[in-house]
Amino acid sequence: MLRDPVYFDAVPLALVSLVLLLLTACGGGHYPQSVFHAEADFSRELDGLFRNIFAWAVGVFVVVEALLLVAIARFRARPGGPEPKPVHGHTALEIGWTLAPALILVFIAVPTMRTIFDTAGHAPEGALRVEVIGHQWWWEYRYPTLDISTANELHIPAGMPIQVEMTSADVIHSFWIPRLAGKRDLIQGRTNRIAFRTDSTGEYWGQCAEFCGASHANMRLRVIAQSDSVFQRWVDRQRAAPVTPAKGSVEETGQQIFRRSACIGCHTITGIANAKVGPDLSHVGGRGTIAGALFPNTTESLHRWISNAPSLKPGALMPPQSLQGADLDAVVAYLQSLK
C-alpha cells in the first residue's frame, strides 16, 4: 500500500484540506457577533479572563505533552531489554502532581472570582437604567428615568454606565451582546441585571442565547451607541407624539385603515391605539430594522411582514393580515412616516 501512487496523492490533499480547515478559524474578531473584539468594560473583563485561563491551559498542555514524549522515548520497550521493575509509589512525584494542579487552580480561581464580582451587574450611581423584557420573539426596552420605550433596537449613550434590568414576559430568554457584555437569562417573575459601559460609538449586534421556541434563532437585537448629543436627539424624538398625517395624504388613509384593522388589538401608537401584545409602533419608521431586528425596515420588508409574518418568522404570533393592494400600500406609508 505504501508504494501505491494513489496513497501518495491523497496525503498532500489531506494536508491541504487540514490547513484550509484551520484557516476557517482565522479573522474571527471582525464578525459582528464576535467575542474577540471587545468594545466595553464588561467584555474586556471577560476577554482578559479568557486569555489568562487559556495561557495556563497552553502551559499545562505543553508540560504534560513534553513529559509524555520523554516517557515514551526513554522508557519504551526495547528488543532484548529486561523486564521493567514494578515501582510502588513515589512520594515526591505524588506530592508534586497534587500541589501543582492545586496552585494552578488557585491562579485561575482568583481572577475568575474577581471577574464574577466585577461583572455582577451593579452599575455605579448615575448609570442609565434600561428595563429589558423578552417576548417570543422580540425585545422590549423601557427607559424609566427618561419615560420612553422602544423595541428591538437599544439606544445608549457612549461613555455612560448602563444598568440593564431584565425579565421575561413568557419563556426563558438570554440577553447577549458579544462585543459589549456577557449573557444574562431573562426569567419571568425575576429580575437579572447586567452593567457595562462602551467608550465607542457604533452599532453592535446580539441575540437571544437561550432556546425559546421556533424562532429562537431569529430573535436578534441591535445596540446603537451614540454620542450624548445624538442620543439626546433620539430621546426627544421618542418623547414627541407621532407625526400627524397631512389631510388627504396616503399616510392619512393608512392611519384610518390602521384604526379599523386588527392591528390596534396588538400594537401601541400614541393617540391611536394602546394595546401591549406586540411592539410599540409609535416611532417604528425611525428604526433601522423590524421583526426582532431580523429584516431591514424597508417598504418591501413591511409589505411582506404585514401580509404574512409567520411565513418569514416561524411561530410569529402576528397572524397574516387581509390588507392588500392600495390599502396595504397606505398602511406601510403611514408606518414609515412614524419617526
Q: Which tens digits make up the pLDDT trace of 286-333?
A: 999 999 899 999 999 999 999 999 999 999 888 888 888 899 999 999
Q: Which tens digits make up the pLDDT trace of 131-140?
A: 999 999 999 9
275-301 burial, b for 16+ CB within 10 Å, e for fewer?
A: eeebbbbbbbbebebbbbbbbebeeeb
Q: Which tens digits make up the pLDDT trace of 221-273?
A: 999 999 999 999 999 999 998 888 989 899 999 999 998 888 888 898 998 88
Q: Residue 87: is its pLDDT beyond 80?
A: no
Q: Which residue(s) pair with 157 in the sheet?
A: 226
pLDDT of amino acid 15:
76
**Is-contact 301 289, C-beta < 8 A?**
no
pLDDT of amino acid 26:
61
Q: Which tens digits make up the pLDDT trace of 45-64?
A: 998 999 999 999 999 999 99
Distance CA 74, CA 68 (A): 10
Give the residue with greater pLDDT, 4 vs 319: 319
Give the domains, in start order, of the chain with CATH numbers.
128-239 (2.60.40.420), 250-337 (2.60.40.420)
**Is-contact 161 145, C-beta < 8 A?**
no
- Give pTM, 2 decimals: 0.80
pLDDT of amino acid 9:
55
Distance CA 132, CA 194 (A): 11
Q: In this structure, how many other beta carbons lie within 10 angstroms of the beta carbon of residue 160?
A: 16
Residue type at 32 in one-letter notation: P
C-alpha cell, 42: 464588561
Q: Which residue has the cell 401608537?
A: 269
Render 22-85 in DSSP notation, one character per residue. Answer: HHTTTTGGGSTT-TTS--BHHHHHHHHHHHHHHHHHHHHHHHHHHHHHHHHHHS---TTPPPPP
Residues 112-128, mean pLDDT to the nearest whole number:
86
Distance CA 292, CA 218 (A): 7
Coil, helix or strand at residue 182: strand
Q: How confident is the model at residue 182 (pLDDT cuts 50, 70, 90)?
A: confident
Q: Residue 1: is its pLDDT beyond 50?
A: no
What's the mean pLDDT when you consider all of the chain? Answer: 88
Residue type at 252 in one-letter notation: E
pLDDT of amino acid 93:
82
